[in-house]
Structure formats: structure tokens, C-alpha cells
Structure 1
Amino acid sequence: MRPGLRLWFFPERVREEGSTPDYRSSLANERTFLAWLRTGLALIGGGFAVDQFLPRLHGSLRLAFTVVLLVGGALCALRAVNHWVRCERAMRRGEDLPLSRFPTVLALCVAGLAVAVVALTLLGRTD
């Protein structure tokens, strides 16, 4: 198991590295973690909503939208843990916080799905 992945299941081991950061930074990191989890839950809820409330949308499109939202929610949850560990380690080591393309990719995917649903709605394909 990779060292970073091991920390997902044994977060107390993060304390073995570097020095303790200002507690406000650790609490901010935890709030960010919780925000990622809320985003993941919202995406999962959106996936179930598409499946339940757009029954007349063509079956394969509805399935595709549902799966993309559910997978996006699962990825957000996994990303939340990974980002928390990476940030906590960086703070303890006195390094810059890690950068990520994930928020941009997530935003583009959600925007693309929203545009697609709006277009299908305007075309009357959801009736």
C-alpha cells in the first residue's frame, strides 16, 4: 500500500512527519474536506434525481447522466480524503499546499451536464 494511501486509514500517522501546524490551518483543511464530501453527496443526489425525475429522457442518455453524476460523487469523496492527507502532510513539512486539476475538471463536467440537460429540456426531449 502506498504511503499516502496508508494515511487514509491511519491518519494518526500524519503526526509522525514534520511539526504540528497552526490548529486553524488543520481545521480549515478539515472544513475543505467536509465541503468536498458535501459536493460528492450533492452529485450523488443529482444522479438519483436524474434517474427518478427525468423518466421520459431517452434511456441511454438518462443512464449516462446518472452514471456520470454518481461516479463524480464517488470521485469527490475519494478526492476529499486524498486532498486532506496531502494538505496535512504539506503543512506539517512546511511545504506549499498541493495543486490539483480536479476542481476544474469537475466544474467543466458539471457545467457540461447542466448545458446538456437545459438543451434537452428546451428541445422537449424530457417530456
Structure 2
Amino acid sequence: MGSEPDPRFTLANERTFLAWIRTALALMAGGIAVEAFTSDIFAPAVRQSVAVLLLVLGMLLSGGAFVRWVGVERAMRRQAPLPLPLIAPLLGMGGAVAAAVVAAVILTRGP
């Protein structure tokens, strides 16, 4: 629908999508690494919680990146305002929770 946008904007939208996918893959790799390599650092429940949080966050980010890409593409074709980036707050909050859990465990572990 709508008119064809400038190819530079379409390609920029695609690069942004790929950056979100790269971030999602990094989160999923981090979740796998936490589960595989931190058994001597974290209690099993904490380790599994952090790993699952990172994996779910990566999964949601991957899906959200696609939805964002489609929304921006449609907005450009219709010459409408761009949609709000809803995946950015999700990523920020999820990363903050994971970091807070890891920091709390490290601080309470002792020497």
C-alpha cells in the first residue's frame, strides 16, 4: 500500500531490524552461556532464572524486531508518523532485571 519509499530509508529500516536480531541472538547466547558455564557461581534456581530470562528476552526481541520492521515499512509507504519503539523499553527493563539479579548474587556471595 502507499507509495514506494526512498530505497535508502528501506535499507536503513532493514539494517535496524538486523541490529535488533543481532542483539536478540546475543541475549540468547548469553542465556545459554549462563546455564552452561556458571554452575559454580550461582545457585541452580538463580542460574536457571537468569538463563530463562535472557532466552525469553531474546525471543521477544526477535519477534518485536519483525513487528517493528513491518510497522516502520508501512508508515514510510503511507507517509505516516513512525510507530513508537515498544521493544526498546522491553529490552531495557529485561536487561536491568537480569543485571540486578547477577549483581545481587555477586554482592551476597562474599569473598
**Percent of aligned pairs with the same residue?**
45
Which whole-Å CA distance do the structure 1 matches of 2:10 and 2:86 have between them?
22
Which whole-Å CA distance do the structure 2 matches of 1:68 and 1:115 have between them?
12
Corresponding position of 2:24? 40
What amino acid does structure 1 have at the position aligned with 2:92? A
Q: Aligned with 1:95: secondary structure? A: coil
Counterpart contact for 2:50–2:101, Cα < 8 Å: no
What amino acid does structure 2 have at the position aligned with 1:67? V
Gapped regions of structure 1 (runs ≥ 5): 1-16
Matched, 1:53 2:37: yes
Structure 1 length-normalised TM: 0.80
What amino acid does structure 1 have at the position aligned with 2:87? F
Corresponding position of 2:48? 63
What amino acid does structure 1 have at the position aligned with 2:103? V
Which whole-Å CA distance do the structure 1 matches of 2:87 and 2:58 have between them?
12
What amino acid does structure 2 have at the position aligned with 1:122? L
Cα shift readout 1:77-118 (whole Å, capped 9, x = no counterpart):
111111111110110000011003321121121022112202
Structure 1 residue 59, shift from structure 2 partner? 1.1
Matched, 1:110 2:102: no
Matched, 1:30 2:14: yes
RMSD (Å) for aligned C-alpha atoms: 1.5
What amino acid does structure 1 have at the position aligned with 2:69? W
Gapped regions of structure 2 (runs ≥ 5): none
Displacement over 3 Å in runs of 4+: none
